Structure 1
């Protein structure tokens, strides 16, 4: 996984969760977040409001948390 491969993936998808990007590249979420943060700093990707977590707010005993969603804003999405 390189910054350019993440850029290309995000251009093609338009938006994706941190978990989706990590799964696609078979990489740790912390490593993916570092690359996404690079593109955020360059103004090419922006974080969106986090997706909904479990409605029980942790009282269900699950380890659910809100998804981090990122959107490509650098230029037009690639036609596919």
Structure 2
């Protein structure tokens, strides 16, 4: 998996839980965190605060969910 695949996934889904991305890319969450941290450092991805619900289904413990959001760049006029 490469950084552009993560970018494309987050751009399409707008926000995603780490667990969902790990399943999608068949990779360990720790490895995925490292790649997401590169996007965070570039200012393109934001990790939401712990306990943020993913979609409102309430089946998961919010304390165990890590959600990442792709940050759109503002358009220059």
- Corresponding position of 1:11: 11
TM-score normalised according to structure 1 size? 0.73
Quote how far apart the aligned CAs of 1:24 are. Answer: 0.4
Matched position secondary structure for 1:6: helix
Task: Give the match's secondary structure for 1:50.
Answer: coil
In structure 2, the residue matched to 1:44 is 44
Match of 2:65 among 46, 49, 67: 67
Q: For each residue in 1:3-37, what CA deviation from the matched residue of structure 2 results, as whole angstroms up to 9, or x when unmatched?
A: 01111101000000111111000000011101101
Gaps of 5+ in 2: 54-59
Tell which has more relative contact order, 1 or 2 (C-alpha 8 A, sep 6+).
Answer: 1
- TM-score under structure 2 normalisation? 0.76
User: Aligned residue for 1:21?
Assistant: 21
Shift of 1:66: 1.8
Count the aligned residue pairs: 67
Q: Aligned with 1:4: secondary structure? A: helix
> What RMSD over aligned residues (CA atoms) do the two structures have, in Å?
2.1
| Greater radius of gyration (CA) | 1
CA distance in 2, matches of 1:54, 1:24: 20
